[in-house]
């Protein structure tokens, strides 16, 4: 088999600038006294904006230093792209600083098959797609329309290249790591950093080495490797860490198999996952029309760029012998509850669950490679020859138009349909809750999927649906039995004739012998299109889902109404938030997701699950200035809105680790939208603290945590010393003068983490305002 590509791509914008990266790495090596580096370090440090600034401190880097990085590419999915683009637009640039792509995949429903689902979903989300498409045209962004495929599969097929650093506004962005790069999932505000050419900040992750020996065989697949590892590491085990695989067990796996492993590194909380460059990666680049990228990568590898140095030290090493792995099933409701297939039947029995499967789902961004699909097609052919069909609904989501078309050409689709499969649109569909099933409403039931996440309600909106994660082959084999206790490695199925039938372990083909076919070429955007500045970005004036962002005004200067110079105007305390307050508490998800592109509408959820420390109630704030038509107690967003209507800027007093959880920029945009100018915390989660700075909210830390309890709702707070800090006075400290509601006045000291650049953002009203001001 030659795997000759049936097409060639223009590789000019997708080949990493290896010469420049290797040169920067040489500078880095000098700064680090030539100590051996892991692959993850090489990729990260060669993308440093200014190596001297980030690395010359002399202290420990991994797990401690903050790196200012220049990613090479950004990819965004249709849900998260909305706010990212709205923010990007408010920076006033005419084009993105790095190549960027948009992928319409999350908003596509799965009801009765690809053609009708696509048509219906496009109609119901038309205004969002029109907005994304017009913004893409205006700013020179590659736009992948609905039906073209799932973001991570398209990135792997078209954009990923060994040794590069890229960002994506989706948590499974690390999937691209299958090609030996660092691909990191971020919030929209971080993506906007890269799109505007602002250095993107990351706390240098620790690096965990996963040493792979042996070889997968029989029924064990790369999915089983990561399911097994998720059981070992748990959902928090990868937090703040990069998983770097090495050893002889890497090269024996296909590139797409490695992508599955990297994809689900997100399930253990890892920053991302990566692998040294392999022969199979080269073959995949060639088969997907990117021979020039493969050629350049070969050269970079020969200079030692695409693998770890001999003697590189990891923060932890985990040993896995692939020869000993057996298929694994994880769940329900959490991806780290791993049960080996041989024990799964008894696990189901012990739990007292019904021994019934209600549906099998394969595909998604995690497992829809040609190898996965040819493996399951082989099972389907074995079953068909024996006269079997699947016993439960069996749905397949191809990851891209290229996969769909190649499956169809090579008889894979017909083999699946012959045994009862329904092929859905090339989109996320059932993986992201867009599965509108008619059965099992409100009933406890079990499904088996080859997806990556299995939180409650994730697939069909039914909290009682137990979602078990497995490899596509295990999902498929079990769909023929309809029973959770069926072990295709050891058990037989009884045919109508009474005979016993056993599956043989299926072999897949990692790449198509005749090369991939691209399918409908209308789905493919031109590479790095020129911006069409005359394009008008489409937002309906009565839209409930999209709204242009009005730039936030500065707290200082003419028109601000602030007479205190470079000190903040007097701020009223909205509330004192008690305890844990994550970005989910600040900006809830669920039904609010449809308003991601509409700041006014989504702001109605501000802090609705936060606890008020004065009284202990959830979503209650006090308005001590209420008039006769208003109540004193109201919801938090309602009181915030009253402050905004009165032109009263405000502040929040919050507890420890405020804003932990995610990079969701809405959690910073929303308070700012209602007039919040400062948040004083016992401590902040770093990413959220940076997001607040980007939106023009001043984060201050109590120097003495006990001061938290001394400030309450309705108190007035004034900054003292902020002007000195802004004017660059050395050792300037900011104090707060508090005037309580009963007239007591006192001062408290604070700390801050504002850099010089961040002070400029703050003075301009937001980072994007600052970028815009630099343009004019
Ligand atoms: Fe889509 Fe599910 Fe992947 S939502 S991006 S298919 S994790």
Residue 664 is a catalytic residue:
yes
Number of H helices, E strands in the chain: 26, 30
Q: Is 372 helix (H, G, I), strand (E, B) or coil?
A: helix
Catalytic pick from 3, 47, 106, 772? Answer: 106
Q: Report residue 363 CA to chain centroid gap.
A: 19
- Please provide residue 698's backbone torsions phi and psi, each rounded to the nearest 5 degrees: -85, 115
Residue whose CB lies within 8 A of the most ligand 1 atoms, among 75, 110, 148, 150, for a mutation test? 150
Q: Of the residues 398, 432, 472, which should be mutated to test ligand 1's pocket, given the most ligand atoms within 8 Å of the CB? A: 432
Length of the chain: 776
CA distance 167 to 592: 24
Q: pLDDT value at position 54?
A: 87
Classify each residue of 561-592 as buried b or exposed e, where b means 16 or more C-beta atoms within 10 Å of its C-beta. ebebebbbbbbbbbbbbbeebbbbbbbbeeeb
Q: Which two tokens stand for residue 141?
A: 């962004």
- Name the nearest CA neighbour of 83 among 429, 532, 545: 545
Q: Which parts of 215-327 fold into alpha helices (H)?
A: 222-233, 248-251, 255-263, 279-287, 291-302
User: Which tokens go with 558?
Assistant: 């003419």
What is the rounded CA–CA span in Å between residue 89 and residue 747? 41
Per the CB < 8 A criterion, the answer to whether 142 and 99 are in contact is yes
Catalytic residue flag (residue 170): yes
Strands 716-720, 698-702: pairing is: unpaired
Strand partners, 653: 576, 680
| H, E, C per residue of 334-366 | CCCCEEEHHHHHHHHHHHCCCCCCCEEEEECCC
On whether ipTM exceeds 0.95, the answer is yes
pLDDT value of position 2:
53
Asked if residue 56 lies in contact with residue 148, where contact means CB atoms within 8 angstroms, the answer is: no
Structure-block tokens of residue 10: 């223009």
Give the model's pLDDT for residue 386.
97
CA atoms within 13 A on the CB side of 66: 9
773 carries an active-site annotation? no
Residue 576 is predicted with a pLDDT of 98
- Within the chain, all domains assigned CATH 3.30.499.10 are found at 328-504+517-521
Active-site choice (3, 80, 90, 105): 105
Q: Closest residue (by CA) to atom 3 of ligand 1? A: 365
Give helix 291-302 / helix 18-31 axis angle, nearest 10°. Answer: 20
Cis-peptide, bond into residue 424, ω within 30° of zero:
no
Spatial CA neighbour of 145 closest among 107, 89, 100, 98: 107
The token pair at 19 is 């010469």
Write the CA distances from 408 to 15, 372, 413, 416, 771, integer angstroms.
30, 14, 5, 10, 48
CB within 6 Å of ligand 1 — which residues? 105-106, 150-152, 170, 172, 364-365, 428, 431-432, 452
Pairing of strands 745-751, 735-739: antiparallel
Give distance in angstroms: CA of 681 to centre of ligand 1: 35
pTM over 0.90: yes
How far apart, in whole angstroms, are the C-alpha atoms of residue 135 and residue 634? 39
Q: How many CB atoms lie within 10 A of CB 608?
A: 16
Phi, psi values for residue 593, rounded to 5°: -60, -30
The SS3 call for residue 174 is helix
In angstroms, the CA 122 to CA 224 distance is: 35
Give the three-state DSSP class for 572.
strand
* CATH 3.20.19.10-classified regions of the chain: 571-775
Domain spanning 328-504+517-521: which superfamily? Aconitase, domain 3 (3.30.499.10)
Of the candidates 445, 397, 698, 551, the residue with the CA atom closest to the CA atom of residue 88: 551
Burial (0-12, 13-18, 19+ Cβ within 10 Å), 723: middle
Å from CA of 92 to ligand 1 middle: 31
Which residue in 282, 404, 453, 458 is the catalytic one? 453
Q: How far apart are CA 432 and CA 454, in angstroms?
A: 10
Say how far apart CA 692 and CA 651 lie, in whole Å. 12
* 433 secondary structure, DSSP code: T
Reported as type and span, the H/E element at residue 151 is helix 151-158
Q: How far apart are CA 120 and CA 124, in angstroms?
A: 6
Residue 736 φ then ψ, to 5°: -115, 130
Ligand 1 atom nearest 399 alpha carbon: 6
Give Cα 333 distance to the centre of its chain: 19
Inter-residue contact 396 to 374 (CB < 8 Å): no
What is the greatest pairwise CA distance in the chain?
90
Distance 366 CA to ligand 1 centre (A): 8
Q: Is 105 a catalytic residue?
A: yes
User: How many angstroms separate the CA atoms of 176 and 162, rounded?
Assistant: 9
First to last CA, the chain: 57
Task: For the chain, list residues with pLDDT below 70.
Answer: 1-5, 776
CATH architecture of 571-775: Alpha-Beta Barrel (3.20)
DSSP code at position 204: P
Cβ–Cβ under 8 Å, residues 631 and 723: no
| Torsion, Cα of 165, 171, 176, 182 (10° steps) | 30
H helix intervals, 8-80: 18-31, 39-45, 51-55
Whether residue 358 lies in the annotated active site: no
Rounded CA separation 695/689 (Å): 10
* Integer CA distances (angstroms), 524 to 1, 144, 448, 585, 589, in order: 27, 7, 32, 39, 32
Q: Does residue 142 contact residue 527 with C-beta atoms inside 8 Å?
A: yes
User: Is 662 considered catalytic here?
Assistant: yes
């Amino acid at each position: 088999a030659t795997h000759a590509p049936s097409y060639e791509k223009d590789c000019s914008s997708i080949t990493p600038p290896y010469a420049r990266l290797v040169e920067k790495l040489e500078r880095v090596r000098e700064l680090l006294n030539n100590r051996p580096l892991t692959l993850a370090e090489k990729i990260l440090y060669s993308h440093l904006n200014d190596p001297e600034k980030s690395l010359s401190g002399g202290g420990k880097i991994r797990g401690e230093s903050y790196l200012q990085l220049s990613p090479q590419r950004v990819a965004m999915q249709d849900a998260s792209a909305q706010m990212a683009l709205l923010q990007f637009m408010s920076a006033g640039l005419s084009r993105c600083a790095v190549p960027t792509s948009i992928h319409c995949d999350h908003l596509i429903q799965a009801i009765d098959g690809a053609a009708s689902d696509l048509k219906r979903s496009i109609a119901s989300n038309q205004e969002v797609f029109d907005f994304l498409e017009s913004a893409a045209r205006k700013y020179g962004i590659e736009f992948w329309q609905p039906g073209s495929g799932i973001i991570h599969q398209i990135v792997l097929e078209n954009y990923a290249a060994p040794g590069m650093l890229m960002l994506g506004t989706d948590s499974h962005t690390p999937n691209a790591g299958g090609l030996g790069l660092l691909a990191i999932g971020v919030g929209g505000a971080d993506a906007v950093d890269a799109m505007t050419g602002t250095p993107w900040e990351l706390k240098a992750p620790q690096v965990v080495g996963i040493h792979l020996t042996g070889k997968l065989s029989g029924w064990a697949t790369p999915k089983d490797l990561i399911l097994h590892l998720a059981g070992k590491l748990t959902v928090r085990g990868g937090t703040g860490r990069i998983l770097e695989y090495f050893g002889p067990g890497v090269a024996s796996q296909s590139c797409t198999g490695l992508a599955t492993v990297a994809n689900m590194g997100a399930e253990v909380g890892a920053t991302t996952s990566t692998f040294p460059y392999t022969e199979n990666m080269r073959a995949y680049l060639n088969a997907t029309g990117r021979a020039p990228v493969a050629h350049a990568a070969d050269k970079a590898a020969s200079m030692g760029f695409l693998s770890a140095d001999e003697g590189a030290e990891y923060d932890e090493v985990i040993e896995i012998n692939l020869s000993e792995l057996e298929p694994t099933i994880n769940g329900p409701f959490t991806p780290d509850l791993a049960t080996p297939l041989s024990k799964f039947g008894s696990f189901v029995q012990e739990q007292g669950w019904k021994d019934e499967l209600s549906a099998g789902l394969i595909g998604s961004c995690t497992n829809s490679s040609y190898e996965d699909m040819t493996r399951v097609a082989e099972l389907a052919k074995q079953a068909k020859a024996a006269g079997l069909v699947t016993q439960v609904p069996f749905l397949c989501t191809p990851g891209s138009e290229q996969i769909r078309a190649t499956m169809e050409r090579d008889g894979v689709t017909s083999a699946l349909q012959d045994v009862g499969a329904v092929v859905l649109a090339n989109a996320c569909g059932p993986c992201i809750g867009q599965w509108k099933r008619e059965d099992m409403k409100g009933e406890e039931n079990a499904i088996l999927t080859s997806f990556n996440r299995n939180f409650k309600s994730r697939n069909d909106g039914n909290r009682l649906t137990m979602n078990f994660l497995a490899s596509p082959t295990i999902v498929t084999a079990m769909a023929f039995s309809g029973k959770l206790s069926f072990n295709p490695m050891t058990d037989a199925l009884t045919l109508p004739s009474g005979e016993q039938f056993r599956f043989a372990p299926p072999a897949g083909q990692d790449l198509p012998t005749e090369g991939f076919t691209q399918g409908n070429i209308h789905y493919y955007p031109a590479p790095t299109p020129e911006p069409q500045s005359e394009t008008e970005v489409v937002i309906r004036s009565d839209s409930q889902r999209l709204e242009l962002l009005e730039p936030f005004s500065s707290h200082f200067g003419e028109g601000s109404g602030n007479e205190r110079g470079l000190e903040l105007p007097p701020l009223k305390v909205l509330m004192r938030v008690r305890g844990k307050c994550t970005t989910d508490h600040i900006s809830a998800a669920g039904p609010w997701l449809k308003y991601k592109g509409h700041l006014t509408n989504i702001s109605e959820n501000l802090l609705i699950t936060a606890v008020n420390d004065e009284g202990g109630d959830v979503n209650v704030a006090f308005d001590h200035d209420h008039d006769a038509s208003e109540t004193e107690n109201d919801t938090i967003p309602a009181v915030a809105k009253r402050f905004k209507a009165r032109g009263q800027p405000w502040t929040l007093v919050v507890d420890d680790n405020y804003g932990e959880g995610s990079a969701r920029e809405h959690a910073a945009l929303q308070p700012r939208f209602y007039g919040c100018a400062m948040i004083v915390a016992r401590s902040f989660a770093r990413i959220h603290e940076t997001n607040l700075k980007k939106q023009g909210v001043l984060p201050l830390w109590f120097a003495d945590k006990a001061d938290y309890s001394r400030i309450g709702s309705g108190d007035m707070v004034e900054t003292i010393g902020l002007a000195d800090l802004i004017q660059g006075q050395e050792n300037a400290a900011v104090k707060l003068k508090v005037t309580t509601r009963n007239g007591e006045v006192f001062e408290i000291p604070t700390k801050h983490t504002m850099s010089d650049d961040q002070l400029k953002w703050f003075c301009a009203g937001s980072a994007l305002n600052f970028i815009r001001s630099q343009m004019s």
